[in-house]
Amino acid sequence: MEINGRTRTCGLIGNPVEHTLSPVIHNTLAERFGHNLVYVPFPVEAGRIEEAVAGASALQILGLNVTVPYKGEVIPCLREVDSLAASIGAVNTLVAVPGGYKGYNTDMEGLYRAMVTEDIRIADEEIILLGAGGAARAVAYLCAVKGAQRVYLLNRTLDKAQKVAEEVNRSADRQVILPMALADFDSLPDRKFLAIQGTSVGLAPHVEDVVIDDEKFYARIHTGFDLIYSPWETRFMKLVKANGGQAYNGLKMLLYQGIIAYELWNGVEVSGADADVVYGKLKAHFI
């Protein structure tokens, strides 16, 4: 693609952003669609998110992704916020509107699309969710709105899990999230679960770390989904597989949250074939 006076710009704001694989997603899609668009990372120093959003608008940046630590902090800087993002309390995608940006959360739907491609079911399932941070809160909301029967929210700090459960249950208008302390996993019903690892524990370079280090826990899991994608196979995934379960990493979640953002910015629908091409390029960074 030739960069010229009509080239549109999209990018990622966060701190740090140097490690991001998002340019692989968006620049590959731009090439496949023939869009005159480039995607680049923009590091934003602490305390300057409002300046960054205003500057991007002034420069007519078409759209932005938002990563840690600004997914919540960016909300007051926006002209509008999509109802789903408002319910989750986090924005990861900005779409240009007159006078600024509208905020969306594509993480949740990205995770759902990723799970669908692996034939992982949420509706009517009993699910274990590890963690009660921002990512886990979004997953809890996803499970609630997609019809999970029950979600056991396990967290080291019980009061934080209780707070997330209260917020999501109130939003979903049903008692679907049950908070528990990590140490109490033995009190879970005697059955197999879908388990979603929603913390940063095990992220490279701390590849031997795991939230629960007890074989008895992993014997309860028929399918494990780790939101982490680096390393390619986390210790959580290895323990699930060692105890007879299937395990998946978060690279397809990264893929589909990016695809949904690209669709919002450009008014297109990304095909399965295009998604497969992008996924192949992402996967090449690990295998």
Point out the residues that are catalytic.
Answer: 71
Could you tell me where the DSSP H helices lie in the chain? 22-33, 49-58, 83-88, 107-117, 134-145, 158-172, 215-218, 235-242, 251-266, 272-283
What stretch of H or E contains 74? none
Q: How many helices (H) and strands (E) does the chain have?
A: 10, 12
Q: Which residue has the tokens 């500057």?
A: 55
Longest dimension (CA), the chain: 63
> 240: which residues sit within 8 A by CB, 6+ positions away?
195, 218, 221, 223, 224, 246, 247
How many residues in total does the chain contain?
287
